[in-house]
Structure 1
Amino acid sequence: MREFGYRRVLDVSGAVALLDADPDARFLGGGTNLVDLMKTGVERPARLVDIRELPLDRIESAPDGGLRIGATVTNSDLAAHPEVRRRYPALAQAVLAGASGQLRNMATVGGNLLQRTRCGYFADVTKPCNKRVPGSGCPAIGGDHRNHAILGASDHCVATHPSDMGVALTAFDAVVSYETAAGPGELPLTDLYLPVGDTPHRETALPPGALITGVTLPPAPVAAHSRYRKVRERASYAFAIGSVAAALDVRDGVVRDARLAFGAVASRPWRATRAEALLAGAPADAATFAAAADAELAAARPLPDNAYKGTLMRNLVVAVLTELAKEAGR
Structure 2
Amino acid sequence: MPSSVMPMPMPSQADGRPSPAAVSAVGLRKSYGDKVVLDGIDLHIPEGSIFALLGPNGAGKTTAVKILSTLITADGGQARVAGHDLTAEAQSVRAAIGVTGQFSAVDGLITGEENMLLMADLNHLSKQEGRRVTAELLERFDLTEAAKKPASTYSGGMKRRLDIAMTLVGSPRIIFLDEPTTGLDPRSRHNMWQIIRELVSDGVTVFLTTQYLEEADQLADRIAVLNNGKIAAEGTAEELKRLIPGGHIRLRFTDPDAYRAAATALTGAARDDEALALQLPSNGTQRELRSVLDWLDSADIEADELTLHTPDLDDVFFALTATAQPKEAVR
When the two structures are superposed, what TM-score results if normalisation uses the length of structure 2? 0.25
When the two structures are superposed, what TM-score results if normalisation uses the length of structure 1? 0.25
Rg larger in structure:
2
Higher relative contact order (CA 8 A, sep 6+): 2
